[in-house]
Amino acid sequence: MQEEIMSAKNQAIAQISGAHDNEELEQIRIDLFGRNGKITNILRGVKNVPQDQRQQIGILINETKKTLENMLLDQKNSFKENVREWFDPTIPVPLVKIGNLHPTSVVISEMVEIFKHMGFSITEGPEIETDHYNFELLNLPKDHPARSLQDVLYIEEPETLLRSHTSSVETRSIENLKPPFRVVVAGKCYRFENVNASNNAMFYQFQGFALQKGLSLSDLKGTLFHFAKSYFGKDRKIRFRCKYYPEVEPGVGLDLNCQFCNGKGCAVCKGRGWIEMLGAGMIHPNILKNFGYKPKEITGFAFGMGLDRIVMDRFKIKDIRSLYNGDIKYS
């Protein structure tokens, strides 16, 4: 009987793997497991097997049955994969609504991500500010010539105004935080501007500052180079030059080579070959003194840049007003 089973099994295996379609397979199945099928008949004959062998034969038959059934199923599935019914994956369907972030938020979070890796936290401050925090404490006393670079929007002259830069958060942070700290701020700022395609009375700045014993111009340069290379690309050229800002000493201007003309000079860079990207420097000793620090005992750096221009470049938006007036069509 054992031989009979084995031979039936081998024969069936050959037949199943040789079958070409479902019909053939169905015939094989009937031949094996049908009312008069081979395996059915063998099962019927088990009762004639002597008692001592019956259990062993039973196990063998069951295994055979299982193997053949699995084979039949596998073979059937393989037909399914080879022969398929016509199906259209291009059919348009209603979409689930996906929300998207505002371009300015996207740029802010990308930048924040880079600075986080360098140990920076994030902070913010009030937009309705006082002259004290916006100017005085920043080494910008009244009648300072640099004040004319920033025409301020006043709520109550001379003290209450809309912050003209995020540096006001720097003064508030130096006042409130305990060094060492590294912080970035991204937020709305306001200046008196005749609103047109390239100027708006509300704009965004991205600012950072750090206060820690041992910080140097070399650290500032390293920080800004790391940021500029990470954000604007490793192949961009960077110019790190001396520039005056009342809030810093020594002061720094950082430019990138113009990506439109590759430094040759074009309309975008006004023929300079460079795009001014940010202002920076070591926090001015007068500011440190304003908060009771001794400039030789602790040092800090600060940097700031306008965000809107960067957002506009990144998202190919030509008119600055489009950023905040509902012109944006989200994908």
Residue ranges in 159-178 that form contacts with other proteins under rule CB under 8 A: 160, 162, 177
C-beta closer to other proteins: residue 44 or 97: 97
> According to CB under 8 A, which residues from 294 to 323 bind other proteins?
295-296, 299, 323
> Least distance (Å) from other proteins to the CB of residue 90?
23
Annotated binding site for Mg(2+): 249
Number of amino acids touching other proteins (CB under 8 A): 89
Kindly state whether residue 214 participates in binding other proteins, applying the rule CB under 8 A.
yes
Of the candidate spans 22-30, 50-58, 77-85, 233-241, the one that interacts with other proteins by CB under 8 A turns out to be 233-241
Q: How far is the CB of 310 from other proteins (least distance, A)?
A: 15
Residue environment code for 36-56, b if the CB has 16+ CB neighbours within 10 A, otherwise e? ebbbbebbeeeeeeeeeeeee
- 316 Cβ neighbours under 8 A, 6+ residues apart: none
Closest by alpha carbon to 248, among 276, 198, 292, 210?
210
Question: Which residues ranging from 74 to 113 are in contact with other proteins (CB under 8 A)?
Answer: 96-102, 104-105, 109
Q: Rule CB under 8 A: is residue 202 a binding residue for other proteins? A: yes
d(CA 232, CA 252): 19
Contact 249, 263 (CB under 8 A): no
Which CB sits closer to other proteins, 75 or 223? Answer: 223
Binding site listing: 249
User: Residue 36 carries which side chain, given as an amino acid letter?
Assistant: N
User: Which residue type occupies 90?
Assistant: T
Using CB under 8 A, which of 18, 58, 126, 233 touches other proteins?
Answer: 126
- Please pick, from the candidates 180, 261, 266, 306, the single residue that binds other proteins as defined by CB under 8 A: 180
Question: Binding of other proteins at residue 216 (CB under 8 A)?
Answer: yes
128 binds other proteins (CB under 8 A): yes
Contacts of 324 (CB under 8 A, 6+ apart): 200, 202
Residue 267 found at the interface with other proteins (CB under 8 A):
no
CA distance 79 to 225: 60
209 touches other proteins (CB under 8 A) = no
Closest distance to other proteins from the beta carbon of 133 (Å)? 13
Closer CB to other proteins, residue 11 or residue 160? 160
Nearer to other proteins, 37 or 180 (CB): 180
**Judging by beta carbons within 10 Å of its beta carbon (0-12, 13-18, 19+), is residue 81 exposed, middle or buried?**
exposed
The answer to whether residue 243 forms part of the interface with other proteins (CB under 8 A) is yes
CA distance 140 to 148: 11
Query: Following CA atoms 168, 171, 177, 180 in sequence, which dihedral angle do they give, to the nearest 10 degrees?
Result: 110
